[in-house]
Amino acid sequence: MATGRSTQNNPNAAASNRRSRGRGIPDATVARLPLYLRALTALSERSVPTVSSEELAAAAGVNSAKLRKDFSYLGSYGTRGVGYDVEYLVYQISRELGLTQDWPVVIVGIGNLGHALANYGGFASRGFRVAALLDADAALSGQLVAGLPVRHTDEMEEIVRSERVSIGVITTPPGAAQQVCDRLVAAGVTSILNFAPTVLNVPDGVDVRKVDLSIELQILAFHEQRKAGDDLDDADQEVPATPSAAVVSEGTELEEAAG
Amino acid sequence: MATGRSTQNNPNAAASNRRSRGRGIPDATVARLPLYLRALTALSERSVPTVSSEELAAAAGVNSAKLRKDFSYLGSYGTRGVGYDVEYLVYQISRELGLTQDWPVVIVGIGNLGHALANYGGFASRGFRVAALLDADAALSGQLVAGLPVRHTDEMEEIVRSERVSIGVITTPPGAAQQVCDRLVAAGVTSILNFAPTVLNVPDGVDVRKVDLSIELQILAFHEQRKAGDDLDDADQEVPATPSAAVVSEGTELEEAAG
DNA sequence: CCATCTTTGTGCACGCGTTCACAAAGACAT
DNA sequence: ATGTCTTTGTGAACGCGTGCACAAAGATGG
Ligand SMILES: NC(=O)c1ccc[n+]([C@@H]2O[C@H](COP(=O)([O-])OP(=O)(O)OC[C@H]3O[C@@H](n4cnc5c(N)ncnc54)[C@H](O)[C@@H]3O)[C@@H](O)[C@H]2O)c1
Ligand SMILES: NC(=O)c1ccc[n+]([C@@H]2O[C@H](COP(=O)([O-])OP(=O)(O)OC[C@H]3O[C@@H](n4cnc5c(N)ncnc54)[C@H](O)[C@@H]3O)[C@@H](O)[C@H]2O)c1
């Protein structure tokens, strides 16, 4: 059964292959490294030479024991009684995350969101470089966005290959996301950041992470509702038992091109 | 360790009150409910009356046992031998997530990203309504964005109170995020969606979720690098002259030849 | 060199989340 | 009613992540 394409399982995880688990750094740790790196970079810019796990943990918003354990996976780069060398840690984490090299990225779907991402400075700051902006709308072709010309998706395969792009960002409407994803993967992309509210199916070996604004808001709404309910300290949480309720119209913009 | 302000601890979690009163739905389940809801809505629009856990799980990209267990927390709404009633589930999940009511939202910082979010249709679709767009730049005041006038942050407190806004979205530069957050919270906002790469400190009872593009990319880069490393080396691993000792711990070396 | 003080690195226990596997429940046919 | 077939709901095992608590390591001072 589950032999062809793997659907994204984990919370937001990539194709966490069980096999290549050499000195495997736990996923949870990997997800926090960028957080540490950001805090360390700020310290570095203030020329702070060393930092204790307690201080750094506070800056990153995590538990200090967790931070120390995280760092222990990278090897032991601290000095007892002193703390961690800021510059050295910045280097080690950058290296571990692969930020010491250049990562060409393509953004597909230059609408509202694609525009914003293209203009986002935080991209280039770390090793990420926007190799191309792609859109299926021919009317956009050639138009400059953040100094880069929008190119037609016809050129996708050529660009991915020639620029050695391994990371693709999808900001198309949901109905086009799977198709765009398939083309990116076929062209050689092996990591995808998906902003469309779509479950992407990809072959093994391809990592997908998704950013879903709508889900985040709904989770907040849940907690918000719970807080409100706790305040009132209700007693009636009974189910109305009205199956046919109209409920939220939702208006999903699905164009669902079927499988 | 004072009990003053709580820094965001969990992966991306809100103030997860441990006292799971009444029916405590696990955080992991809550995070998946929107996923199910989306798949169910699509089915609903195609007038599909019932769906099995297997089908729905496939559509949502999760394990079917997990889905069944998730639903079991909501109560048992399935029929054995048949599956789940789509309309009924849509209603139950919407209700559980609090989407049957209206959630006014303010967006603070109407730059590139704020613009995109304001124009995002997916907002209004589910119970979320943009109550106001706020920016500190007076030059933007009055300007129409997505049909709404941008208003100055001076009006924040008044708007939050009069519109009963409980959810705030922060899309300001990182340097302003904490300050904006403080003002939102003081005005009465108890849930914050933060797009700025900043660790926000909030009082207990306030939920913060963050969306961090940069972190997502760095996580992808990590896996990308690992993939590249795995491809390159057949025999020896990549570890380049790490001075510290070998971190031998477990013995389960599952190295697949499979090359 | 010894004493003291700071901070790391980690063993350990605990709780959450995931997944398997299966009995029970119900639909449906005869 | 009875049997068969499908699918749910969940008990139980397991693995991962977290955080406490502490011994070891090293700095610093006398
Ligand atoms: N705007 C937001 O704030 C926001 C927030 C969360 C999620 N999203 C999601 O992000 C995606 C983009 O949102 P948006 O507001 O930018 O939409 P948009 O309509 O403004 O832009 C979509 C762009 O994709 C292009 N496109 C369509 N089909 C394509 C294809 N097959 N190949 C390449 N390009 C194609 C369109 O020409 C358009 O330029 C949507 O899936 C949306 O649900 C957007
Ligand atoms: N653009 C992206 O794609 C992107 C991606 C990831 C993260 N981010 C983050 O999102 C945030 C916004 O990004 P952007 O590209 O839209 O930036 P931007 O500079 O285009 O917009 C920022 C807006 O915030 C306003 N602002 C500044 N200080 C304010 C204050 N104190 N109160 C209210 N408004 C204030 C500014 O006037 C401006 O309009 C940044 O923190 C950025 O790091 C952006």
CATH code of the domain containing B14: 1.10.10.10
At residue B138, what is the residue type?
A
Domain match, A135 and A259 both: yes
Atom of ligand 1 nearest to the CA of A213: 6
- The lowest-confidence range among A20-34, A78-92, A180-194 is A20-34
Q: Do A250 and B105 touch (CB under 8 A)?
A: no
pLDDT digits (tens, 9 = 90+) for A43-58: 999 999 999 999 999 9
Residue of A nearest to B67 (CA): A9
Domain match, B29 and B145 both: no
Cβ proximity of B239 and A72 under 8 Å: no
Domain match, A71 and A171 both: no
Which of B39, B67, B96 terminates a domain? The answer is B96
Domain match, A55 and A174 both: no
pLDDT attached to residue A228: 87
Q: Do B9 and A98 touch (CB under 8 A)?
A: no
pLDDT band at A3 (very low <50, low <70, confident <90, very high): very low
Domain match, A131 and A227 both: yes
Average of per-residue pLDDT across B185-201:
98
Q: Do A224 and B166 touch (CB under 8 A)?
A: yes
Q: Measured between alpha carbons, how far is A242 from B242 in angstroms, rounded to an integer?
A: 64
The dihedral sign for the CA sequence A192, A210, B218, B251: negative
Domain count of the fold of chain A:
2
A140 Cα: distance to centroid of ligand 2 (angstroms): 25
A118 Cα: distance to centroid of ligand 2 (angstroms): 14
Ligand 1 close to Cβ of residue A184 (< 6 A): no
pLDDT attached to residue A229: 80
Q: Distance in angstroms, CA of A156 to C1' of D30?
A: 71
Q: Measured between alpha carbons, how far is A170 from A148 in angstroms, rounded to an integer?
A: 17
Which of A76, A96, A116 terminates a domain? The answer is A96
The yes-or-no verdict on residue B114 having pLDDT over 80 is yes
Calculate the alpha carbon distances from A16 to A58, A212, B220, B226 in Å: 29, 20, 11, 11
Domain match, B65 and B121 both: no
pLDDT band at B56 (very low <50, low <70, confident <90, very high): very high
The yes-or-no verdict on residue A243 having pLDDT over 80 is no
Residue B239, domain member (yes or no): no
B108 Cα: distance to centroid of ligand 1 (angstroms): 22
Q: Which nucleotides of C are covered by protein (CB under 7 A)?
A: 5-11, 16-21, 24-28
Residue B215: nearest ligand to its CA?
2
CA A194 to mean position of chain CA atoms: 8
CATH code of the domain covering residue B134: 3.40.50.720
The yes-or-no verdict on residue A2 having pLDDT over 90 is no
Residue A244, domain member (yes or no): no
Check the annotation: does A192 bind a ligand: no
Domain match, B156 and B181 both: yes
What's the domain range around A76? 1-96
What tokens were used for A246?
């109209």
Distance from CA of A52 to the nearest CA of B (A): 16
Residue B140, domain member (yes or no): yes
**Is the C-beta atom of B50 closer than 7 angstroms to strand D?**
no
Residue A242, domain member (yes or no): no
**Is the C-beta atom of B128 closer than 7 angstroms to strand D?**
no
Which nucleotide lies nearest residue B24, CA to C1'? C16
pLDDT attached to residue B231: 63
pLDDT digits (tens, 9 = 90+) for B207-216: 999 999 999 9
Domain match, A70 and A142 both: no
pLDDT attached to residue A125: 73
Which of A74, A96, A118 terminates a domain? The answer is A96
pLDDT attached to residue A209: 98
Q: Give the strand order in the sheet containing B167-170.
A: B144-145, B148-152, B128-135, B103-108, B167-170, B191-194, B207-210
The yes-or-no verdict on residue A237 having pLDDT over 90 is no
pLDDT band at A101 (very low <50, low <70, confident <90, very high): very high
| Rama region for B258: left / alpha / beta (φ>0; ψ in -120 to 50; rest) | left
pLDDT attached to residue B119: 94
CA within 13 Å, CB half, B119 = 15
The 8-class DSSP code of residue B60 comes to H
Q: Measured between alpha carbons, how far is B108 from B170 in angstroms, rounded to an integer?
A: 5
Domain match, B26 and B67 both: yes
Domain match, A15 and A108 both: no
Domain match, B162 and B227 both: yes
The yes-or-no verdict on residue B3 having pLDDT over 60 is no
Residue A128, domain member (yes or no): yes
pLDDT band at A6 (very low <50, low <70, confident <90, very high): very low
B212 Cα: distance to centroid of ligand 2 (angstroms): 13
Q: Residue B126: list chain A partners with CB under 8 A.
A: 214, 217-218, 248, 250
Which nucleotide lies nearest residue A82, CA to C1'? C7
Average of per-residue pLDDT across B114-133:
91
Residue B17, domain member (yes or no): yes
What tokens were used for B207?
């939920």
Mutate to test the pocket of ligand 1, among A106, A110, A112 (most ligand atoms within 8 A of CB): A112
User: Nearest residue CA, atom 19 of ligand 2?
Assistant: B111
Mutate to test the pocket of ligand 2, among B106, B107, B110, B113 (most ligand atoms within 8 A of CB): B113
Residue B247, domain member (yes or no): no
Residue A243, domain member (yes or no): no
Predicted TM-score (pTM) of this structure: 0.88
pLDDT attached to residue A10: 53
The CA-based dihedral angle spanning residues B110, A177, A218, A38, taken in that order and rounded to the nearest 10 degrees:
-60
Q: Do A98 and B59 touch (CB under 8 A)?
A: no
Domain match, B85 and B120 both: no
